[in-house]
């Protein structure tokens, strides 16, 4: 479709001139509906919502989509947008036929996804290795410097020794695994798949394996554990996108204990939201409490798990739509992105209240867990990048000794080149540098570089180009060339002397983990094991236990 036609369609649609009677009559067969529903779940639901009511991405209501028409929607799905929508067609992730199918699917009503209850969960629960048969002491020397690496598209986790850089084991996980988090002791690595399958790996084993698994929901992104000293390694918690809920589990066996629905009312307009999804979860170290983002209602729930069957929940009104976030340096304040409003909400977990809603200084903040700095001039700072703009913002987080800087952007810098596309930023107390990726920028050069910021001057100091030999191209079954995306996500080793990033490839070819010296910024090691297919997130045991970022 020509650009002029797309533009005229946009203009007509925005003027409200396209009547439904002019729209195509879309009919999909059962097989087409099934395929499209699966593709939508895999690629679209995370940003646009299962019910298509919008969140990180705009709402995609069928009536409105009909006014846009198939050609227009096809172009957007194929090309992506500079606002962060991936180029699903152009990148080869969707075939031309699937691109067309999805353009049509958006014009028919969204099917209601299935519910799930405790009895469904229990059918999927397996204790693979009983507690009594697990090691009594760690069998490997370096286990506290192990990294769990998500192999996203093959549904596996690689455990990599942070000292030897050897892949110690590769274990199965849920579909398109999203994140991993450790138990408070670090012994267990908890894994959550996008399909709601939770599993746990025992890192004390010579060859770490899954010891328990359960599918708690149909769609999930978050998992964490009890980190208060009286509840060490006692509970795990999963945050579900669908059915929107919080599921608590026994930490040693993943036995399900309790389901709490988050379907509720938006904090500001009090509109009912069936799809009130659980986004980030973070564990308090000081209280028996999880801090839980309920995306669509704009509430942060402070979930007291000391009485696991009768939890107490404090609902803090924050902003919409809540996504990811992390601790400040003192681990008292939780800073989290309300991305559609370009706001960072700050929650004081000691007082159980909102401290501030701070304009993030850019378009669509996406901190991951953010970065913490003890700055010589500004005092403690927490930083975030943005998906929709090149801004990196640093916010003061000490209201006592650095009152004038607290809860505002005290410094903002810009990454070189146009547009955002940053997903993750990471630091370590022992590293002079902060690292920033940009895999969602549509410009290939910008997408395939790393960006380095000096922790003291807070200035951007260096771009590290990834050697094209680490960005392999593959050929799919139809003979199309499929490029690797750029580097994504960072994690430091336990002492902060190295920073690791993964090359986000595709299913057809392995891609490497690149290890940089965090002082000299030299490429120190390439971990290029052939089992590393689509490595994305990496989580070092010590840094994840202690929430160091």
Which residues are near ligand DHE by CB under 6 A? 46-47, 56, 152, 176, 178-179, 221-222, 279-281, 323-324, 368-369, 423, 488-489, 536-537
Question: Minimum distance from CB of 178 to ligand DHE (Å)?
Answer: 5
Question: Minimum distance from CB of 177 to ligand DHE (Å)?
Answer: 7
Angle at the Cα of 364 (from 109 to 533), degrees rounded to 5?
75
47 assigned to active site: yes
- Number of neighbours of residue 122 by Cβ within 10 angstroms: 11
Exposed / middle / buried, residue 150 (Cβ in 10 Å: 0-12, 13-18, 19+): buried
Sequence-distant (6+) residues with CB within 8 A of 75 are: 1, 6
Active-site pick, 78, 228, 366, 386: 366
| Cα separation values, 69 from 8, 10, 80, 100, Å | 12, 10, 16, 11
**Of residues 153 and 398, the one with the C-beta less far from ligand DHE:** 153
Question: Minimum distance from CB of 194 to ligand DHE (Å)?
Answer: 6
**Of residues 510 and 537, the one with the C-beta less far from ligand DHE:** 537
**Token pair listed for 277:** 């999804």
Question: Minimum distance from CB of 369 to ligand DHE (Å)?
Answer: 5
366 assigned to active site: yes
**Of residues 46 and 89, the one with the C-beta less far from ligand DHE:** 46
Which residues are bridge partners to 281 per DSSP? 292
**Of residues 47 and 503, the one with the C-beta less far from ligand DHE:** 47
125 assigned to active site: no
Is residue 467 within 8 Å of 500, Cβ to Cβ? no
In 3D space, the residue among 182, 145, 150 whose CA is nearest the CA of residue 166 turns out to be 145
| DSSP code of residue 41 | I
Question: Minimum distance from CB of 361 to ligand DHE (Å)?
Answer: 21
**Of residues 190 and 204, the one with the C-beta less far from ligand DHE:** 190
Active-site pick, 50, 85, 102, 200: 85
Phi then psi for residue 140, to 5 deg, are: -130, 145
**Of residues 189 and 488, the one with the C-beta less far from ligand DHE:** 488
Is residue 540 within 8 Å of 146, Cβ to Cβ? yes
**Of residues 179 and 373, the one with the C-beta less far from ligand DHE:** 179
Sequence-distant (6+) residues with CB within 8 A of 439 are: 421, 423, 447, 485, 486, 487, 488, 504
Ranked by CB distance to ligand DHE, the top (closest) residue is: 46
Is residue 450 within 8 Å of 460, Cβ to Cβ? no
428 assigned to active site: no
Alpha-carbon span 549 to 541, nearest angstrom: 12
**Of residues 72 and 504, the one with the C-beta less far from ligand DHE:** 504
Alpha-carbon span 219 to 196, nearest angstrom: 5
Question: Minimum distance from CB of 5 to ligand DHE (Å)?
Answer: 30
| Cα separation values, 533 from 39, 92, 192, 505, 509, Å | 21, 17, 18, 7, 7
323 assigned to active site: yes
The number of residues making up the chain comes to: 549
85 assigned to active site: yes
Residue 321: asked if its preceding bond is cis (omega within 30°), the reply is yes
Question: Minimum distance from CB of 44 to ligand DHE (Å)?
Answer: 8
Active-site pick, 48, 78, 228, 375: 48
Active-site pick, 178, 228, 323, 489: 323
Q: How many CA atoms lie within 13 A of 425 on its CB side?
A: 33
**Of residues 205 and 236, the one with the C-beta less far from ligand DHE:** 236
Is residue 314 within 8 Å of 352, Cβ to Cβ? yes
Question: Minimum distance from CB of 221 to ligand DHE (Å)?
Answer: 4
Strand-by-strand arrangement of the 343-348 sheet:
322-327, 333-338, 343-348, 353-359
Question: Minimum distance from CB of 145 to ligand DHE (Å)?
Answer: 17
Alpha-carbon span 150 to 173, nearest angstrom: 9
Is residue 531 within 8 Å of 494, Cβ to Cβ? no
Per the listing, tokens 């708690």 go with 216
Which residues are known to be catalytic? Answer: 44, 47-48, 85, 323, 366
């Amino acid at each position: 479709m020509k650009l002029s036609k797309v533009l005229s369609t946009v203009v007509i649609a925005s003027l409200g001139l396209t009547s439904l009677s002019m729209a195509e009559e879309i009919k999909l067969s059962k097989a087409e509906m099934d395929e499209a529903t699966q593709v939508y779940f895999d690629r679209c639901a995370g940003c646009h919502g299962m019910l298509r009511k919008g969140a990180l991405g705009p709402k995609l209501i069928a009536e409105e989509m009909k006014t846009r028409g198939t050609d227009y929607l096809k172009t957007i799905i194929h090309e992506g947008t500079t606002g962060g929508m991936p180029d699903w067609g152009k990148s080869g992730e969707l075939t031309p036929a699937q691109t067309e199918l999805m353009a049509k699917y958006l014009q028919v009503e969204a099917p209601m996804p299935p519910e799930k209850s405790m009895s469904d969960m229990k059918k999927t629960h397996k204790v693979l290795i009983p507690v009594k048969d697990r090691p009594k002491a760690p069998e490997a020397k370096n286990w506290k410097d192990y990294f769990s690496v998500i192999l996203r598209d093959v549904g596996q986790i690689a455990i990599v020794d942070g000292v030897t850089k050897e892949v110690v084991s590769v274990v199965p996980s849920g579909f398109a695994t999203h994140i991993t988090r450790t138990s408070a002791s670090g012994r267990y690595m908890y894994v959550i798949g996008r399909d709601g399958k939770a599993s746990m790996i025992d890192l004390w084993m010579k060859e770490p394996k899954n010891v328990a698994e359960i599918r708690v929901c149909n769609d999930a992104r978050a998992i964490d554990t009890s980190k208060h000293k009286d509840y060490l390694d006692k509970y795990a918690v999963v945050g579900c996108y669908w059915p929107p809920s919080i599921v608590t589990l026994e930490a040693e066996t993943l036995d399900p204990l309790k389901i709490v629905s988050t379907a509720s009312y938006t904090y500001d307009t009090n509109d009912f939201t069936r799809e009130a999804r659980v986004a980030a979860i973070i564990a308090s170290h000081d209280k028996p409490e999880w801090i839980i983002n309920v995306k669509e209602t704009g509430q942060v729930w402070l979930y007291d798990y000391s009485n696991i069957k009768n939890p107490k929940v404090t609902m803090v009104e924050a902003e919409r739509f809540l996504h990811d976030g992390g601790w400040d340096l003192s681990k008292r304040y939780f800073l989290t992105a309300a991305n559609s409003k370009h706001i960072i909400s700050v929650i004081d977990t000691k007082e159980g209240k909102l401290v501030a809603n701070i304009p993030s200084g850019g378009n669509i903040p996406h901190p991951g867990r953010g970065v913490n700095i003890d700055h010589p001039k500004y005092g403690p700072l927490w930083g975030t990048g943005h998906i929709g703009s090149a801004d990196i913002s640093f916010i003061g987080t000490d209201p006592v000794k650095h009152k004038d800087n607290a809860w505002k952007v005290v410094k903002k810098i810009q990454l070189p080149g146009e547009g955002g596309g940053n997903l993750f930023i990471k630091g370590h107390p022992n590293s002079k540098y902060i690292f920033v990726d940009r895999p969602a920028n549509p410009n290939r050069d910008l997408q395939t570089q790393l960006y380095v910021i000096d922790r003291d001057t807070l200035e951007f100091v260096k771009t590290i180009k990834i050697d094209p030999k680490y960005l392999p191209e593959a050929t799919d079954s139809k003979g199309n060339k499929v490029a690797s995306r750029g580097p994504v996500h960072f994690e430091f080793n336990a002492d902060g002397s190295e920073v690791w990033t993964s090359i986000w490839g595709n299913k057809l070819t392995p891609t490497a983990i690149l290890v940089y010296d965090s002082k000299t910024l030299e490429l120190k090691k390439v971990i290029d094991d052939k089992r590393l297919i689509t490595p994305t997130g990496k989580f070092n045991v010590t840094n994840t236990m202690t929430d160091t970022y």
